[in-house]
Structure 1
Amino acid sequence: MAKTQDASSSWPPSVGALKDSLRRHPSGWLLAVQLLTVVVNPLMENTAAGRAVFGVFGIVVLALALWVINRSQAVNWIAWLLAVPSVALSLAANVGGQSQLVPVAHLLESALYFYTAGALTAYMLGDARVTFDELLAAGATFTLLAWAFAFAFSVCQSWYPGSFTAALNTESPRTWMELLFLSFSLLSATGLSDIVPVTAPARALSMLEMFAGVMYIAVVVSRLIALATLRVSRKP
């Protein structure tokens, strides 16, 4: 038993340990990759090579999302139906330079992220226990919703030019990082900051995200907190 504990605490972790961690906590890996994308995206956004790397990050996130869905009770074929063309279009847009495919790729990615967020929400609400993996799933679901709405904003901006304005470069299309920042701001109810939806479709999407953020806190997060508090209070 001591040897097993020493092996599990060694650094760097073995391939077997990483596989075991991925098997037990796919939501945690999904959350970690998405947060890493937030950190590195500002370094990659302004170059063609950087956008290609960002596309690879997106494919990794999609793969982890599929793995999460595979572990849940969701219908797998729906996820694959969204993911396969999304990956193909994303590669063609980011690596092949066919930028006209970006709106369609983002539309499919948005749908897949919404579907994955729904699968994780059903997983968290499926029993009266709070596990460590469910806490990781709570964070992953929040980021999935933020990404899903950011992709929806990107599609809206492509279909309705001028949907969003900001304090700087008011007439220019908003970058992906700006749209993701707006999405996080709305979902967390911290405000719009300097990015504002100005067309009716953009404002409709913004209102839906505000509603989703409030309901996520009210239903999912509050339930997890209540169950965790109840479990602690029942301990002898």
Structure 2
Amino acid sequence: MGESSESGVDAGVAAAAQRARRSRRWSLLARRHPSAFLLAAQLLSLLLYPLMDQTQSGRLLFGAVALVVVPLAVWVVRSGPFVSLVAWLLALPAMALTVIGVLFEHEALLPLSAMLEAALYFYAAASLISYMLHDHEVTNDELFAAGATFTLLAWGFAYAYFVCQAWYPGSFTGIEPGRPRHWMELLFYSFTNLSATGLGDVLPVSSPARVLTMLEQFAGVGYIATVVSRLIGLTIVRARR
């Protein structure tokens, strides 16, 4: 009886030690590759966005995604106290306005929340670009940061399009003209512009929408020509060494 109880205690201690090791492993991975977690969250949210329709449950899911992705974006840019402070000053009001607008159906608050989230994503993307440009050795985190920066820019412009559509109704048209474009349509339009694929059924109509579109096209080409090409060059140099 005593031996069985001791073996049970030993098994519990071993299980607790294994959980502690697993937790330390994930913590170390998060500290080394924070961009990987942000990139994974952004890509996983893509799988959830098709479930977000105009119903209350879909809007709640939209708010839940924002509550996860926005703090991750702040966490990635924690390169200094001032940088983190600015990021939190953008993130906290954005999350609060998103929750209030979704839960209490205050549609007027959502464009303001989208404007703050767009500013946060652009700020996070600029911070990651600065981080990649200041490093002369290509590590795995730089590669994750390159992917995360692309998604941050795509989300940032999608929120900018959302604000543009709210302020200038009829800024975008598509297969079903006369109605506002849904969030998934604007995000799809942002990805097609940033990647320069040109595939899409959303068209900018108003002048502000066209200006934003041109800015995103310029940002996409510039990002590939400067940041991504530099990472490729450093990778080739490291391989030759």
With normalisation by structure 1, the TM-score equals 0.90
Which of 152, 166, 183 is matched with 1:158 structurally? Answer: 166
Indicate if the aligned counterparts of 2:185 and 2:202 stay in contact, CA closer than 8 A: yes
Q: Distance in 2 between matches of 1:157 and 1:47?
A: 20
Q: Distance in 2 between matches of 1:232 and 1:206?
A: 38
Which of 200, 206, 215 is matched with 2:213 structurally? Answer: 206
Q: Distance in 2 between matches of 1:221 and 1:74?
A: 27
Structure 1 SS opposite 2:196: coil
Q: Distance in 1 between matches of 2:229 and 2:114?
A: 31
Q: Does 1:230 align with 2:231?
A: no
Q: Does 1:83 align with 2:91?
A: yes
Which residue does 1:170 correspond to in 2?
A: 177
1:20-76 CA deviation, whole Å, 9 max, x = no partner?
222221110000011111111102334311221221111211101111111468622
Matching residue's letter, 2:216: E
Count residues in correspondence. Answer: 224
Matching residue's letter, 2:234: L
Q: Distance in 2 between matches of 1:72 and 1:197?
A: 38
What CA RMSD, in Å, does the superposition of the two structures yield over aligned residues?
1.8
Which of 189, 199, 204 is matched with 1:197 structurally? Answer: 204
Q: Distance in 1 between matches of 2:29 and 2:54?
A: 34
The equivalences for 1:36-75 within 5 A come to 36-71=44-79, 75=83
Q: Cα gap change, 1:100/1:158 in structure 2, threshold over 3 Å: closer, same or farther?
A: same
Which of 154, 174, 193 is matched with 1:186 structurally? Answer: 193
Q: CA deviation at 1:192?
A: 4.9
Q: Distance in 1 between matches of 2:29 and 2:103?
A: 31
Q: Cα gap change, 1:26/1:87 in structure 2, threshold over 3 Å: closer, same or farther?
A: same
Gaps of 5+ in 1: 1-6
Matching residue's letter, 2:48: V
Indicate if the aligned counterparts of 1:146 and 1:184 stay in contact, CA closer than 8 A: yes
With normalisation by structure 2, the TM-score equals 0.88
Larger Rg: 2
Q: Distance in 2 between matches of 1:171 and 1:192?
A: 21
Q: CA deviation at 1:140?
A: 0.2
Using the aligned pairs only, state the percent identity: 54
Q: Distance in 1 between matches of 2:62 and 2:23?
A: 25
